[in-house]
Amino acid sequence: MADLEGFRAETRSWLEANCPVSMRGPGASPTDEPDASIWGGRRAVYKNPDAKAWLERMAAKGWTVPTWPKEYGGGGLSSEEARVLNQEMGRIKARPPLLSFGIWMLGPVLLEYANEEQKKEHLPKIARGEIRWCQGYSEPGAGSDLASLKTKCEDKGDHFLINGQKVWTSYADQADWIFCLVRTDATKKHEGISFVLFDMATPGVEARPIKLISGNSPFCETFFSDVKVPKKQMVGKLNGGWEIAKRLLQYERQNISSGGFGGGAGVELEDIAKHYAGEDDGAIADGDLRARVAAHRMEARAFALTVRRIEEEGKAKKGPSPAVSIIKYAAAKLNQDRCELMVEAMGTQGLGWEGEGYNPAEIAAMRGMLRSKGNSIEGGTSEVNLNVVSKRVLGLLDHQ
């Protein structure tokens, strides 16, 4: 315990000295078009030099991925030390130096399945924010039934040749590399899938943004036409990609669930409701709205505590369990409820789409509410996650 308190004191001192003032407090309102200075990659443009300095300082400490091994760009911290780091960053309201699919999804599976050459090639670049990744999973005919994917990967001797299409590829038009599921054996379903990595600048790769009801375009259609991929960029065994794919989905669902749907969301909502609906002796004036905001705040707190418990269980078991499907399902519903309450609390001001009569937060509330409808689809639909819970958590069997 004394060592942990010593680590806390050192961490607090280092953060105070190295976290720029402009990197403290809330950043821009979350949207479907993330700030490149937080997501990194070859195309990142740092309008604020402090953002670049903050990333470089944290990456040099290995604290963009604090629990990864030091030899791969991580901090080598224990889970207890990583929790202290998060607490101290929260104390000064430090913004995250880096957000990345590489950190949330690809990195953990590379640590588990990649060979040493692949780990040394890709993990340090992820930790330093040098490469931005996208995920090539869903296809027009393979969404919930992902194992039906048809993107073909042919063995051409010294390389693979990939032809096919992916859809709902998040930020593919801004990504540097892609981790992609491909079909290497057409005679089998789950056992005919492999997991490959390749550069989005490879000839034959094309990403086309899809405009959503929210007005933004975070997703893309991605086309592959005779894309040559070196064989060394296959992770795991030939036709062994389905196991990796499932593991990565567990990490994705875990991180979607802990990515801000719970925690302090109820506090933010309460402040907004007081601003628009008025206050009565320090409380939200509208009794019905007050009761529903209070209920949501309790659910958000309970959710955050449950996420923390499941994360700790996952660390003890060296990875997430099927229980993350419970959290993913709950997170989607919680965030949708929050967004709907936000719009309702704003009254007619929450119905704005554009124009001088609405401020940016009001416009963001409406667009955010529309965007939240996708929470129950992305990262595995709510229906699929309920099936996972019934089979792999509750142990229920299908009965004819």
Task: Specify which residues 199 forms β-bridges with.
Answer: 177
User: Measured in whole angstroms, how far is the alpha carbon of residue 327 from the centre of its chain?
Assistant: 14
Calculate the CA dihedral of residues 259, 262, 267, 268 and round it to 10 degrees. 40
d(CA 23, CA 97): 8
- Strands 219-230 and 193-199: what pairing? unpaired
Beta-carbon-side half-sphere exposure of residue 302 (alpha carbons within 13 Å)? 8
CB 175 within 8 Å of CB 209: no
3 state DSSP class of 104: helix
What residues have CB less than 8 Å from 391, skipping those under 6 apart? 397
Catalytic hit among 81, 88, 139, 252: 252
Q: Is 252 a catalytic residue?
A: yes
Q: CA 5, 8, 9: angle at the middle one, nearest 5? A: 90
Closest CA to 233 of 161, 164, 134: 161
DSSP 8-state code for residue 69: -
| Residue 63 structure tokens | 């604290």
d(CA 244, CA 7): 35
364-376 as b/e: b if 16+ CB within 10 A: bbbbbbbbbebbb
Residues belonging to the active site: 252
